[in-house]
């Protein structure tokens, strides 16, 4: 198992134990261990190869936990997890995905109302039985009803980070098989959609048997659902399905284009082919019986009179109207990262460590933006502590070479439409990113008032993760994007694409609208540890889905130009 899979298993174990009313300290230990494992720079399997006792050197990992983590890493199994899974109905576990419902509330619903599925819960809430429970009430009942659809969707799809990690690992294993010439990811994972419902791999192989045998035995695969001569359907341990198709070299481009999708994009492609007297399918582009293109994607698009369209844009959202070569932003174009946290609040890295982590990633400048005081659970900073924090940053950056460092703050936009810190303090910052963390379910009118208050503040440079959503687990705030984007344009405030795969906020559609209004976008990691900068890749691909070029993203500028942009906007 990978580190992320181990962390997910430990988190699931903690959730299940809490549902069963187990000791709170034990539950907390598993959650802390999950965070520790998820933030490790090296895979647990590598650490164990170097030393059997390596896990005992990690903070909060004792002998018992180390044995369980080792079992997960090496076998993918944990007897205790299997045991507790058998004690909790799957539908009850799915209730945890309802925004605002933690294990304690779910346990109450399960045990007191005898609800075992989302359908049971919906019926109970519709009948008003949930509101009668102590600690719930009408407002919570309504929130549950609104969140059930999110929970149902979350059970069918996985985040792009989970999908890509699994697809890339399996693809790499297949590439190492003798006789396999090429393996590529297709489907929504290739288009870098925020979530994926299944995975698709295409391969060229002299003999499909060896490739399919390798897939059936892969550690991530739980069962082979179906197998033919050129296609295999498997289910992964994560619950997501994967299809492997072995195709002939002469048809690979056509198959890759076809199975990448989207369906909407492919409908237009087939219509354009028909208008030219051609037929397009997964085997090639044909004029009668003659194949005129299909070995590679580029030849198909060229024959149809189109530039090659990057996979991220294949959603039939304007890509066919573009003229000439489409040069989208690339991961290597980013020079800065303007959103990250240190141990001053809820980060795992010190100021020095975050600077070094950013520099090691190749970044040329950063802004350190710890939380303001409203986020008490993250040890948010008040004015006194923030100024002291900035003094420490200033002393360190004076000695730092090879990377520029800005003193910043992630300042909450409070529920009453004021900012969490006074103007005289914000005026001292090099960079202010304003965010919504609380009150996301307020009416749209109040959300608009809060966002406009931040945009109109002369010290705010950027609005971070504007909707506040967590994909599949927390619904976005209700935003009037027309008003919001127009205000950002009028006041010269930048907008963030938060690259955390659970956020990807702004979404691709609103990012495209921001581009039309020429609102500068910044792609930030929101990193909480020294290896968190790797997620910037997901933010870049979100920007590519929106059609953004290097010129549309402010932190592709060099440091001097970026500083000038801040000053001009202020």
> pLDDT tens for residues 240-251?
899 999 999 999
Confidence at residue 198, expressed as pLDDT on a 0 to 100 scale? 93
pLDDT > 80? residue 39: no
> pLDDT tens for residues 87-104?
999 889 888 888 778 888
Gap between the Cα atoms of 525 and 221, Å rounded = 31
Confidence at residue 50, expressed as pLDDT on a 0 to 100 scale? 86
Mean pLDDT of the chain: 93
Confidence at residue 153, expressed as pLDDT on a 0 to 100 scale? 62
Strands 404-412 and 365-368 come out as parallel
Gap between the Cα atoms of 325 and 469, Å rounded = 34
147: which DSSP letter?
Answer: H
pLDDT > 60? residue 526: yes
Higher pLDDT, 424 or 48: 424
Confidence at residue 46, expressed as pLDDT on a 0 to 100 scale? 77
Nearest CA to 496 out of 531, 532, 470, 467 is that of 467
pLDDT > 90? residue 457: yes
DSSP characters for 94-140? HHTTSTT--HHHHHHHHHHH---SHHHHHHHHHTTTTTTSTTTHHHH
> pLDDT tens for residues 396-407?
999 999 999 999
> What are the beta bridge partners of residue 227?
232
> pLDDT tens for residues 255-295?
999 999 999 999 999 999 999 999 999 999 999 999 999 99
The mean-pLDDT minimum among 5-19, 38-52, 322-336, 409-423 falls in 38-52
The C-alpha angle 307, 309, 313, rounded to 5 degrees, equals 145
Higher pLDDT, 152 or 360: 360
pLDDT > 80? residue 149: no
> pLDDT tens for residues 59-89?
889 999 999 999 998 888 898 998 989 999 9
* Domains recognised in the chain with CATH numbers: 1-88 (1.10.150.110), 158-246 (3.30.460.10), 251-311 (3.30.210.10), 331-569 (3.20.20.140)
Percent of the chain with pLDDT over 70: 98
Are 329 and 552 in contact, with CB atoms under 8 Å apart? yes
> pLDDT tens for residues 431-443?
999 999 999 999 9
Are 203 and 197 in contact, with CB atoms under 8 Å apart? no
Q: Spell out the residues 6+ positions from residue 310 whose beta carbon is closer than 8 angstroms to its own.
A: 326, 328, 544
Gap between the Cα atoms of 408 and 526, Å rounded = 13
Mean pLDDT over 14-41 rounds to 87
> pLDDT tens for residues 379-400?
999 999 999 999 999 999 999 9
Alpha helix locations (H) across 155-251? 160-175, 187-190, 208-216
Gap between the Cα atoms of 80 and 13, Å rounded = 8
pTM: 0.81
Higher pLDDT, 366 or 23: 366
Q: Which two tokens stand for residue 118?
A: 């989302």
Nearest CA to 69 out of 18, 20, 35, 102 is that of 35
Residue keyed to tokens 């582009």? 285
pLDDT > 80? residue 344: yes
Are 537 and 310 in contact, with CB atoms under 8 Å apart? no
pLDDT > 70? residue 155: no
Rounded to 5 degrees, what are φ and ψ at 483? -70, -45
pLDDT > 60? residue 154: no
> What are the beta bridge partners of residue 284?
281
**3-state secondary structure at position 347:** coil
């Amino acid at each position: 198992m990978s580190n992320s899979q181990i962390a997910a298993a430990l988190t699931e174990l903690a959730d299940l134990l809490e549902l069963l009313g187990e000791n709170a300290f034990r539950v907390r230990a598993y959650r802390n261990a999950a965070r520790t494992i998820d933030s490790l720079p090296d895979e647990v399997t590598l650490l164990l190869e170097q030393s059997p006792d390596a896990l005992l050197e990690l903070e909060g990992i004792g002998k018992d936990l180390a044995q369980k983590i080792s079992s997960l890493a090496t076998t993918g199994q944990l007897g205790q997890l299997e045991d507790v899974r058998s004690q909790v109905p799957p539908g009850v576990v799915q209730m945890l995905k309802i925004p605002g419902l933690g294990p304690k509330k779910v346990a109450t619903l399960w045990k007191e109302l005898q609800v075992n599925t989302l359908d049971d819960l919906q019926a109970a809430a519709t009948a008003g039985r949930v509101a009668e429970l102590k600690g719930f009430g009408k407002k919570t009942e309504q929130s549950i009803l609104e969140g059930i659809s999110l929970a149902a969707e979350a059970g069918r799809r996985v985040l792009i980070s989970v999908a890509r990690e699994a697809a890339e690992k399996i693809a790499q294993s297949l590439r190492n098989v003798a006789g396999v010439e090429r393996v590529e990811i297709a489907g929504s994972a290739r288009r870098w959609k925020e979530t994926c419902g299944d995975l698709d791999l295409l391969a060229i192989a002299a003999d499909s048997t060896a490739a399919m045998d390798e897939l059936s035995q892969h550690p991530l695969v739980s069962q082979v659902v179906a197998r033919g001569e050129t296609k295999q359907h498997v289910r992964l341990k994560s619950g997501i399905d994967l299809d492997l198709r072995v195709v002939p070299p002469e048809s690979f481009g056509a198959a890759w284009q076809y199975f990448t999708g989207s369906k909407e994009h492919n409908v237009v492609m087939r219509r354009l082919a028909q208008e030219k007297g051609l037929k397009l399918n997964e085997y090639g582009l044909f004029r009668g019986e003659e194949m005129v293109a299909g070995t590679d994607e580029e030849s198909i698009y060229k024959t149809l009179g189109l530039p090659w369209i990057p996979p991220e844009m294949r959603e039939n959202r304007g890509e066919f109207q573009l003229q000439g070569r489409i040069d989208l932003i690339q991961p290597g174009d980013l020079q800065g990262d303007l959103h990250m946290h240190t141990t001053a609040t809820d980060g795992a890295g010190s100021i020095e460590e975050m600077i070094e982590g950013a520099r090691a990633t190749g970044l040329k400048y950063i802004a350190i933006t710890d939380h303001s005081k409203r986020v008490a659970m993250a040890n948010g900073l008040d004015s006194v502590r923030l100024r002291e924090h900035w003094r420490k940053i200033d002393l360190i950056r004076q000695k730092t070479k090879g990377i520029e460092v800005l003193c910043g703050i992630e300042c909450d936009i409070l529920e009453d439409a004021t900012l969490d810190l006074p103007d005289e303090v914000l005026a001292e910052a090099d960079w202010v990113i304003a965010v919504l963390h609380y009150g996301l379910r307020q009416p749209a009118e109040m959300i608009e008032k809060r966002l406009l208050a931040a945009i109109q503040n002369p010290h705010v440079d950027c609005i971070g993760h504007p909707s506040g959503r967590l994909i599949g687990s927390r619904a976005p705030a209700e935003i009037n994007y027309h008003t919001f984007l127009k205000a950002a344009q009028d006041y010269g405030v930048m907008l963030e694409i938060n690259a955390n795969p659970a956020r990807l906020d702004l979404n691709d559609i609103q990012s495209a609208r921001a581009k039309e209004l020429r609102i500068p976008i910044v792609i930030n990691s929101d990193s909480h540890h020294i290896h968190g900068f790797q997620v910037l890749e997901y933010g870049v691909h979100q920007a590519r889905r929106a059609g953004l070029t290097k010129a549309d993203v402010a932190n592709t500028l060099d440091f001097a130009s970026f500083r000038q942009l801040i000053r001009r906007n202020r």
